[in-house]
């Protein structure tokens, strides 16, 4: 970097550093923006933006800080930003500076110079795209992604910082293709929150472009109409579609996997979600009707090679390290008895720092407990540094997120009270989120009921509250508006016990990237309240403490197989049933047996493809052993994560009766008895322990789970399930969250997976597992939930609007549901409406 560029960069970083340190009360010194330096900055930026080899991140950083700190009434920064950002191919960032930007016609406000006006228009023209007579302005990087779709190469690999706008341009290009072609789209996302967000984004674009022959669904429709479908699915829903119908997704389609970095832990025996994502990608890699594959994630190393290896075709590399949003990390460090305030920027080798003049306010440094004194300190810091901003506060656990939210204060608008009343009515009077919202604070974690998740995320998006507390759900790609992120340390626990999890350096970089969003902010700031804890954690090097590392992703099990090949061979040769003693390799034994059951002699090629290299003789020997099993192959295929040896044990055993329906006589007792039998059988206990959390495996708590499961399956409302003194008192909030978690994760997801083999064998036509999964017994309600309507909202719609309609006791077509909702939409309360927008 040239010295004058470096000096200019350091000047503006120091301006921001002193401003933030002063705002926090850590430094009394002040720095005023020098008029000479403003003029000098404009002059140097003019020179920099004419240099084709300049690092665009430097230009964006200086311009962002100029915009933040220079007097906009005194200096026409808008005109400068328009010109310079257009030159470097990032005109979209200039939209923040131009209140008069004409979004409809994609035009900036006029500038003073005709020559500059023509220059801006010329640069802008290169980055414009048109869809259905509507213009959109893209960055150079987004335009590169757009053009890559039209490449002869089948695969597009996309890797970029979190705020680069990659998901938006993917959605935009897909809608453009759907306006011209007859095809489906499968869009894989890691979480239910992202399903909601992506579905809403696609639906907004569909309406904007007037594309009528397109439906957006979160469930695969086997009896397709003439419509083009955009399936927005989690990996679990995608793989379940293949298990139910091996010919699923047989129309020409574009396949998109977003947040692909979640495949990283596929070799971890306990991370089933990563393995499911891996299998979903594999299934689509073998489909010949896939026209285009889009693989996307933040800062993935060699994304094109990864995608090409996985899908066995050439890939276009769309990678960048340019972020249109400046991310700065501030931290508090302790050296001896003194505290220091530090500033980290990816463009500088050394952090700015100053000694904190008055450190008496700092509490709980070096500790992990979130007690009352620390929460008071946290609230003070958030108020000082986050005033008049949207703030995200990271919490290590669900309980901590709730406690932080209840301790903070924030700003709120008039929409809050209706939301508070809605939660009190549909969850419980003492629901913690209602209390937090009353104080202008929300929280988002894995234990929110679906109707709460969808509405609170909409409220956060609408900036109904200013402070939001989040757990690791924030790492899964959910876009929540925020200028600031606050994080204490990398610990994902309050009390250390055994091998406790930590945020990795890569995850921390993703978290920091959530501060500031394209088209919304120029600068995003992360505040680390305990820098020393990061330096003491494995994976964080002091010299590169808050850098932006890339992630290398696996394309198979090769390393793991090589490490355990002898143990795996022994298990296969001796027909050993997968059990708890096969730590690190049991899932590979199941995987090999399942692949052989599915593909017979073709299994060798499939296994080679994922790094499991067996000889023809080994495969032949496994085929012989699998042929000795009595369990039908189709049963094994429908239960791909079960060891066929265990399935054979169930098939040849006299399993007790299971309920056919939640309204069966003694349904709860039958459910409890079959769970007890699975627990006590040495062959099935491994799977029982895998799917049933420890607290619900035995005695009274298992019976409570079974009782709640049957009520849930009957369609009893959540607010009625949460009645009783158990949910009152000081532990009531914990009990509410724990019961919701048990219903949403164990009853709806894990319990059906555990029971599925038995139902496939004994009662294949039963709908009982479906009632557990969705939480309803009436077919019309079940189908509403299956197409993405939150359970409590589906029950509300049935009771308030549809109960008098004919046919709701039977299966109801999605088309009819959509039409009825459209007819009744304007009569529904606002917080019900926001959950249904994607259907109309």
* CATH topology (fold) of 327-544: Rossmann fold (3.40.50)
Q: Which region among 73-87, 715-729, 818-832 has the lowest average model confidence (pLDDT)?
A: 73-87
In the predicted structure, residue 618 carries a pLDDT above the cut 90 = yes
- Among 109, 138, 23, 734, smallest CA distance to 382 is for 23
Query: Cα–Cα distance between 309 and 429 in angstroms, integer?
Result: 53
Q: Give start and end residues of each alpha helix (H) in 715-803.
A: 718-721, 732-741, 751-762, 768-774, 779-786, 791-797
pLDDT at residue 175, rounded to an integer: 95
Alpha-carbon torsion angle 341, 396, 480, 504, nearest 10: 70
pLDDT at residue 314, rounded to an integer: 95
pLDDT at residue 809, rounded to an integer: 63
Q: What is the pLDDT of residues 30-44, one digit of tens each?
A: 999 988 999 999 999
Whether the Cβ atoms of residue 288 and residue 251 lie closer than 8 Å to each other: no
DSSP string spanning 222-242? SS--SSEEEEEEEHHHHHHHH
In the predicted structure, residue 650 carries a pLDDT above the cut 80 = yes
Q: What is the pLDDT of residues 552-567, one digit of tens each?
A: 999 999 999 999 999 9
Whether the Cβ atoms of residue 423 and residue 431 lie closer than 8 Å to each other: yes
Handedness of CA 575, 581, 582, 587 (dihedral sign): positive
Mean pLDDT of 338-362: 95
* CATH topology (fold) of 140-319: Rossmann fold (3.40.50)
Highest mean pLDDT, choosing among 7-16, 81-90, 162-171: 7-16
DSSP letter, residue 186: E
In the predicted structure, residue 543 carries a pLDDT above the cut 70 = no
Mean pLDDT of the chain: 92
Q: What is the pLDDT of residues 289-343, one digit of tens each?
A: 999 999 999 999 999 999 999 999 999 999 999 999 999 999 999 999 999 999 9
The SS3 call for residue 129 is strand
Report the DSSP pairing between strands 338-344 and 326-335: antiparallel
Whether the Cβ atoms of residue 172 and residue 185 lie closer than 8 Å to each other: no
- Among 327, 395, 366, 392, smallest CA distance to 530 is for 366
Q: Which residues of 614-632 are buried (b: 16+ CB within 10 A; e: fewer)?
A: beeebbeebeebbeebebe
Residue 224 pLDDT level (bands cut at 50, 70, 90): low
Query: Cα–Cα distance between 191 and 395 in angstroms, integer?
Result: 19
Mean pLDDT of 579-585: 93
Mean pLDDT of 667-682: 96
pLDDT at residue 519, rounded to an integer: 78
Residue 415 pLDDT level (bands cut at 50, 70, 90): confident
pTM: 0.93
Q: Where are the domains of the chain?
A: 3-124, 140-319, 327-544, 558-652, 667-839
Report the DSSP pairing between strands 184-189 and 128-131: unpaired
Query: Cα–Cα distance between 149 and 155 in angstroms, integer?
Result: 8
pLDDT at residue 481, rounded to an integer: 83
- Start-to-end CA span in the chain (Å): 53
Handedness of CA 402, 408, 411, 415 (dihedral sign): positive
Q: Give start and end residues of each alpha helix (H) in 133-271.
A: 140-148, 166-178, 192-209, 235-244
Residue 717 pLDDT level (bands cut at 50, 70, 90): very high
């Amino acid at each position: 970097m040239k010295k004058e560029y470096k000096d200019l960069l350091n000047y503006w970083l120091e301006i921001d550093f002193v401003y933030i340190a002063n705002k926090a009360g850590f430094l009394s010194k002040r720095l005023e923006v020098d008029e000479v330096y403003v003029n000098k900055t404009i002059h140097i930026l003019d020179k920099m933006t004419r240099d084709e080899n300049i690092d665009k991140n430097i230009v964006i950083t200086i311009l962002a800080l100029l915009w933040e700190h220079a007097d906009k009434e005194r200096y026409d920064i808008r005109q400068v930003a328009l010109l310079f950002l257009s030159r470097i191919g990032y005109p979209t960032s200039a939209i923040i500076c131009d209140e008069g930007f004409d979004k409809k016609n994609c035009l900036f406000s006029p500038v003073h110079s005709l020559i500059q006006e023509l220059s801006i228009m010329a640069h802008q023209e290169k980055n414009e795209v048109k869809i259905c007579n509507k213009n959109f302005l893209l960055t150079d990087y987004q335009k590169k992604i757009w053009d890559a779709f039209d490449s002869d190469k089948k695969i597009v690999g996309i890797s970029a910082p979190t705020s680069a706008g990659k998901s938006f341009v993917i959605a935009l290009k897909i809608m453009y293709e759907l306006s011209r072609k007859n095809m489906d789209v499968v869009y894989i996302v890691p979480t239910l929150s992202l399903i909601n967000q992506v579905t809403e984004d696609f639906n907004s674009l569909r309406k904007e472009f007037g594309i009528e022959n397109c439906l957006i669904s979160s469930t695969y429709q086997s009896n397709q109409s003439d419509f083009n479908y955009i399936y927005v699915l989690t990996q679990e829903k995608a793989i379940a579609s293949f298990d139910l119908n091996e010919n699923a997704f047989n129309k020409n389609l574009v396949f998109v996997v977003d947040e692909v970095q979640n495949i990283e832990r596929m070799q971890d025996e306990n991370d089933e979600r990563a393995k499911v994502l891996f299998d979903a990608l594999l299934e689509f890699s073998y489909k010949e009707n896939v026209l285009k594959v889009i693989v996307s994630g933040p800062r993935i190393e060699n994304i094109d090679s990864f995608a090409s290896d996985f899908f066995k075709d050439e890939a276009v590399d769309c990678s960048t390290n340019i972020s249109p949003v400046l991310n700065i990390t501030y931290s508090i460090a302790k050296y001896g008895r003194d505290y220091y305030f530090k500033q980290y920027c990816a463009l500088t080798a050394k952090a700015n720092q100053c000694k904190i003049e008055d450190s008496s306010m700092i509490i709980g440094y070096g500790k992990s407990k979130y007690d009352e004194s620390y929460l008071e300190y946290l609230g003070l810091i958030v108020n000082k540094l986050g005033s008049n901003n949207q703030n995200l506060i990271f919490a290590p656990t669900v309980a901590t997120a709730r406690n932080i939210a209840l301790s903070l204060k924030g700003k709120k608008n008039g929409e809050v009270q209706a939301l508070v009343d809605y939660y009190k009515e549909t969850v419980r009077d003492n629901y913690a989120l209602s209390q937090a919202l009353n104080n202008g604070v929300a929280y988002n974690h894995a234990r929110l009921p679906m109707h709460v998740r969808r509405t609170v995320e909409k409220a956060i998006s609408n900036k109904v509250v200013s402070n939001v507390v989040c757990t690791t759900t924030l790492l899964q790609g959910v876009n929540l508006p925020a200028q600031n992120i606050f994080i204490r340390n990398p610990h994902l626990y309050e009390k250390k016990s055994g091998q406790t999890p930590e945020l990795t350096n890569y995850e921390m970089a993703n978290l920091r990237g959530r501060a500031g969003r394209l088209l919304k902010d120029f600068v995003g700031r992360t505040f680390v309240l305990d820098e020393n804890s990061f330096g003491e954690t494995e994976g964080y090097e002091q010299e590169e403490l808050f850098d932006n590392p890339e992630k290398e992703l696996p394309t198979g099990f090769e390393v793991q197989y090589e490490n355990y090949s002898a143990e795996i061979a022994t298990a296969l040769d001796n027909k050993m049933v997968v059990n708890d003693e096969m730590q690190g390799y049991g899932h590979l034994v199941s995987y090999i047996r399942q692949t052989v059951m599915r593909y017979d002699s073709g299994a060798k090629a499939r296994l080679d493809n994922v790094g499991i290299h067996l000889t023809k003789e080994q495969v032949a020997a496994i085929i012989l052993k699998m042929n000795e099993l009595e369990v039908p192959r189709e049963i094994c295929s429908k239960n791909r994560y079960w060891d066929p040896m265990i399935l054979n044990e169930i098939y040849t055993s006299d399993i007790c009766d299971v309920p056919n329906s939640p309204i069966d006589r003694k349904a709860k007792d039958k459910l409890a008895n079959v769970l007890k039998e699975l627990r006590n059988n040495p062959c099935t206990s491994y799977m029982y322990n895998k799917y049933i959390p420890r607290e619900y495996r035995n005695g009274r708590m298992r019976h409570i789970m079974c009782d709640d499961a049957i009520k849930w399956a009957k369609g009893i409302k959540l607010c009625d399930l949460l009645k009783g003194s158990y949910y009152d008192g000081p532990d009531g909030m914990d009990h509410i969250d724990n019961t919701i978690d048990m219903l949403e994760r164990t009853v709806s997801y894990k319990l059906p997976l555990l029971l599925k083999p038995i139902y496939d064998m004994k009662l294949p036509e039963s709908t009982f597992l479906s009632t557990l999964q969705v939480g309803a017994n009436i077919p019309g309600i079940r189908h509403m939930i299956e197409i993405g309507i939150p359970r409590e909202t589906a029950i509300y719609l049935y009771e308030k609007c549809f109960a008098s309609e004919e046919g709701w006791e039977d299966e109801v077509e999605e088309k009819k549901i959509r039409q009825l909702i459209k007819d009744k939409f304007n009569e529904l309360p606002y917080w019900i409406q926001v959950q249904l927008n994607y259907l109309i």
